[in-house]
Structure 1
């Protein structure tokens, strides 16, 4: 987190990076003609801070998205951008980032890019995903791709939800305590969300209150897990993955979650 704080305070990922930016930009002059703007035939150049934002861009119609933070880095704000990242940003039309990743603006500043910064709402709730993909499709000029994706997503979401509900223990709606970034999985499962926790540390009083709800399951966030949340409550803890894989397929996140949830609810 120390590196993250230094980024917020100023462009302090070393003087060497700033020098690299000068070298990169000194050797080329980018013009609008050199950018692959969307004109009905071409897609704009998009850079995303993480695979999660990139998956939204792909859903909206951008097949080739440059991802800055490697998948091996589990906490994006701790990542130190490289000169190659500046090159990508300098040539981009759009840079996608999340509110907790303010270093995106610093990268753009260092690269001297004219790219438009777009803050992506990283929430896998169905309504939020639909709104975000449609919005990006409008921004990119790719609604011809985004709108059909949203239609396909709605159909897949309904199918997966029915599959999970068919696996409810005893055919009864389960009760769930969910980490705030995992509530979407509870919604997908049709579960009754009786409490939430995070992203800040949970106090003993909060834990006692959540345990008193006597949930059937705890849906933890695989990317921010702090271990067993309610170890003595009898609730079964399930780890929920928010980020897509290297294929940047957002639908796979839902399919994988459905598989995990059906397995947990069937007791297998």
Structure 2
């Protein structure tokens, strides 16, 4: 039923565009295959940041970047029209909007990617996007900045003698923690912490507790582990801009370094 509604919206949108073009003499907002730069729309600021590293320019998003938990955003008619007018739509699959959109929107090329901030995932998933967009060279250059920032931070942590710190980490932040050289001893989240996890935090001798700003649940663990430094990281950029994901990891790293 929902797919029929979406198809109706797309047909109505196409008809409105055609009528407006005939009346004004302007061309369709849908880009033609001959245009060099594709129009890329992403579900959230996180998938948009992957598209940016892949080499896309001027990426637009559906969920506003200032939401605390963007995947919960509900898609609107105007959002569907925006997607329909794009060449590519980048999404992760866990967004609530995908229950409405399904796996196809008109003739738009849908690119599904995995989302976490590990070097391995960012490398593989941005390459997937770049192959579709034909932006492999841009991807290589932008990815290098991201990878170098993490590797330089890892080296600094080693110089400070902190790489052996015992880390208790939110499940959605364990990837960056591992790339920084830490061995994550235990994880928590995304649901609320359990009594057993609180007991473990109290007796486990953890040096660092890393929480997630988008669904923070680690404060009870920090309360019973006063010797552990408590830092909160993000995954979703709060702005859609060039090098957005690089800035996310730089800010996460800066918060960690300040706490150590």
TM-score with structure 1 setting the length: 0.80
Are the counterparts in 1 of residues 92 and 115 from structure 2 also a CA contact under 8 Å?
A: yes
Q: How many angstroms apart in 1 are the aligned matches of 2:237 and 2:127?
A: 19
TM-score with structure 2 setting the length: 0.82
Aligned: 1:26 with 2:15: yes
Q: How many angstroms apart in 1 are the aligned matches of 2:32 and 2:166?
A: 49
Unaligned runs of 5+ residues in structure 1 are 1-9
1:75 corresponds in structure 2 to 69
What displacement does 1:28 show?
2.8
Q: How many angstroms apart in 2 are the aligned matches of 1:32 and 1:135?
A: 28
Change (3 A) 1:241 1:172: closer
What displacement does 1:87 show?
2.0
What displacement does 1:101 show?
1.2
Q: How many angstroms apart in 2 are the aligned matches of 1:152 and 1:45?
A: 24
Aligned: 1:104 with 2:98: yes
Are the counterparts in 2 of residues 176 and 216 from structure 1 also a CA contact under 8 Å?
A: yes
Deviates more, 1:231-240 or 1:45-54: 231-240
Aligned: 1:242 with 2:235: yes
Are the counterparts in 2 of residues 20 and 83 from structure 1 also a CA contact under 8 Å?
A: yes
What displacement does 1:22 show?
5.0
Q: How many angstroms apart in 1 are the aligned matches of 2:216 and 2:50?
A: 24
Change (3 A) 1:185 1:77: closer
> What SS class does the counterpart of residue 81 from structure 1 fall into?
coil
Q: How many angstroms apart in 2 are the aligned matches of 1:90 and 1:122?
A: 23
> What SS class does the counterpart of residue 186 from structure 1 fall into?
helix
> What SS class does the counterpart of residue 259 from structure 2 fall into?
helix
Aligned: 1:255 with 2:250: yes
1:153 corresponds in structure 2 to 146
Deviates more, 1:51-60 or 1:134-143: 134-143
1:134 to 127, 133, 143: 127
Q: How many angstroms apart in 2 are the aligned matches of 1:158 and 1:118?
A: 28
What displacement does 1:34 show?
4.9
Q: How many angstroms apart in 1 are the aligned matches of 2:66 and 2:163?
A: 38
1:217 corresponds in structure 2 to 208
Q: How many angstroms apart in 2 are the aligned matches of 1:112 and 1:135?
A: 20
Change (3 A) 1:243 1:32: same
> What SS class does the counterpart of residue 47 from structure 1 fall into?
strand
Pairwise mapping of residues 15-94 of structure 1 onto structure 2 (< 5 A)? Answer: 21-28=10-17, 34-37=30-33, 42-94=36-88
2:24 corresponds in structure 1 to none
Are the counterparts in 1 of residues 75 and 100 from structure 2 also a CA contact under 8 Å?
A: no
* 1:50-105 deviations in Å (ceiling 9; x for gaps): 00000000111111111000023222343222332122111122211122115236
**Root-mean-square deviation over aligned CA pairs:** 3.0
2:224 corresponds in structure 1 to 232
Aligned length: 248
Deviates more, 1:205-214 or 1:236-245: 205-214
Q: How many angstroms apart in 2 are the aligned matches of 1:185 and 1:79?
A: 25
* 1:147-192 deviations in Å (ceiling 9; x for gaps): 2222333223211222333345xx5621111011111332243222
1:187 to 157, 178, 194: 178
1:5 corresponds in structure 2 to none
